[in-house]
Chain A
Amino acid sequence: MPRGARMEAFVKTVCEQVRFKRAKPGIARELMDHMCDQQQAYLRQGMEEDEAEKRAVEQMGDPVTVGMQMDLAHRPKPQWGFFILTVGLLAAGIAVQGALFGQGDSDRLFVTLIAAALGGLGMAAAYFADYTVLARAPMGIYWGLLAAALLLYVLFPAEGGEAQRGTLLFLLFPTAYAGIVFHYRKRGYGGLMISFGFLAAGVLFCMWCFRIRMGFLCLFSGLLLLTLAVVKGHYGVKKRWALPLLYLPVAAGCGVFAFGYWQRLMTAFSREEGLGYLTAVTRQLLEGAALLGPGATAGSLGRLPELHTDYLLTFLIVRFGWLPFFLVLGLLALFFGYAVVRCLRQRGVLARMTAAAVLSPLLIETGFYLAANLGWMELSSLPLPLLSYGGAGLVLHLVLIGFLLCVFRCGSMEGPPPLACQTHAWIQLADGVLSVRFRKPRS
């Protein structure tokens, strides 16, 4: 029998009993390593190689029984709680939009329902996807996303004040960037700087061709990923040098940016009404809101433009009262709070990074939207995930949430790629046996 054939046959039978595909490489590798160790022990006792392999495999027990036991230990975890929260938020968004549009604008509600249905399919597809593709094809995903955005920019240039098509694609940028960070981890300061370069390229492209605020969203999300990677030691660099290396250029860039807007900001702050007209109107409307039911200023909601996209929460507060708003806020807090906790608990490096990459733009969007709708800042120009009106935006948000749940479902099974029985060292001494490898193993 060819060398190692019995071991491979054993491992193959074990893995056939394991239903969850992603767990198989890790299981195969661990069992193979064990049999190699056992075989080595028998060889040291003077056994022949073939006999040693045969005994090593027999020692493992019945492969079908072992495989069934492994199957019990490796079941993906359905994320029913998150599904319910997602559906709850989606339903809340549809309900508020329904109240806003009324019977006179059923087309828009229809668009939301279609987008919700398509998004649901996208979410399901993402939920059953393999998030480790980010590690296997990081360059393809990163450049593919930027190429798609560039294509939309060239084919559908924005006219007048309309938003450039493809802007929302950058919601996927942090997730694509997570693959880059994962790819360059363990490469020291060089890897960190290259990763930063990829971030800068994507952010500047977004700011130049699409929307500055979306660029900042990508920047903050990317910096969060890099910071997480540095703090957790994935780059193998010292935090006290690496973090300033990251943040000083960003601070300098933001300073240059802020300098250009300094005069506008000073003028805005010096006005009695604060940051701007829309912020002032929002505050005036909120002052008239009731605890429950329409507020005194409900008739003046028309002063705010694009209620369905940009000021849905202000509409909710002024039209229905603070209590329904706090209910929605509670749902959002529960969703994000639980998601953040689950993200931090992920044991796998890629799982944690991917979860953080998906969550951060959702959190930033929500934060900006809340701030704008409560009169704390100017127009957000970013959507509120699952709640505000949007066709493509809603679909993308649901896909992102599906991907997040995919990580939560399978992240605990993340393991290193399978290795052969030998390591990548070309010369090694193990158990008194010196071996030299002349050919690089296939990965």
Chain B
Amino acid sequence: MAIDKSLQAGSTSMLLLGLLAQQDMYGYQMIEELEKRSDHTFTLKAGTLYPLLHQLEEQGLLLSYEGTAEGARVRKYYRITPKGTEKLSEKKREWERYTTAVNRVLKGGSRNAAWC
């Protein structure tokens, strides 16, 4: 089932930071990994990914470096910075608050529906 893009928009940077918190990656690798881990729920276009990565780097949440991928091909890798790790923790807390609040509202709504 395709997810409403407006739901995805706010959480993409959190997802990218979350991926990079586990290991350094290059752009293509991030798209593949995101798709794989989300069971094809999140399909990020490269045209969305790279501007976002560059913005996160400008904000100091990521840094980039040249690394060698498989087959000695040089790639631009991204690594999360300590500032990025802090931001990720903050976003995770926000996300948990948000989802808890949404779930409370939805559970409260279904209870009322059952009474009707």
User: In the complex the two chains form, what is the Cα distance from A37 to B76 in whole Å?
Assistant: 13
Pick from A38, A63, A412, A425: contact of B28, CB under 8 Å: A38
- Asked if A59 and B45 sit within 8 Å, CB to CB, the answer is yes
- In the complex, whether B110 has a CB less than 8 A from a CB of chain A is no
User: In the complex the two chains form, what is the Cα distance from A66 to B53 in whole Å?
Assistant: 12
Tell me which residues across on chain B come within 8 A of A38, comparing CB atoms: 28, 46
Q: Quick one: given A34-B27, A60-B46, are A70 and B71 in contact (CB under 8 Å)?
A: no
User: In the complex the two chains form, what is the Cα distance from A73 to B71 in whole Å?
Assistant: 31
User: In the complex the two chains form, what is the Cα distance from A425 to B26 in whole Å?
Assistant: 20
A34, chain B: closest CB distance, angstroms: 5
Tell me which residues across on chain B come within 8 A of A61, comparing CB atoms: 45-48
- Which stretch of A91-99, A112-120, A427-435 is in the interface? A427-435
- In the complex, whether A264 has a CB less than 8 A from a CB of chain B is no
B56, chain A: closest CB distance, angstroms: 9
- In the complex, whether A62 has a CB less than 8 A from a CB of chain B is yes
B89, chain A: closest CB distance, angstroms: 23
Chain B contacts with A in 18-36, Cβ cutoff 8 A: 26-28
- Asked if A69 and B51 sit within 8 Å, CB to CB, the answer is yes
Q: Quick one: given A59-B45, A61-B46, A412-B58, are A33 and B75 in contact (CB under 8 Å)?
A: yes
A/B pair count, beta carbons within 8 Å: 73
Tell me which residues across on chain B come within 8 A of A258, comparing CB atoms: none
User: In the complex the two chains form, what is the Cα distance from A115 to B100 in whole Å?
Assistant: 66
- Asked if B48 and A428 sit within 8 Å, CB to CB, the answer is no
Interface centre among B51, B70, B72, B75 (most CB of A within 10 A): B51
- Asked if B47 and A62 sit within 8 Å, CB to CB, the answer is yes
User: In the complex the two chains form, what is the Cα distance from A34 to B28 in whole Å?
Assistant: 6
- Asked if A428 and B71 sit within 8 Å, CB to CB, the answer is yes
- In the complex, whether B99 has a CB less than 8 A from a CB of chain A is no
Residues of A within 8 A of B (CB): 26-27, 29-31, 33-35, 37-38, 59-63, 65-66, 69-70, 72-74, 347, 412, 415-416, 419, 423, 425, 428-431
Residues of B within 8 A of A (CB): 26-28, 45-48, 50-52, 54-55, 57-58, 63, 66, 70-76
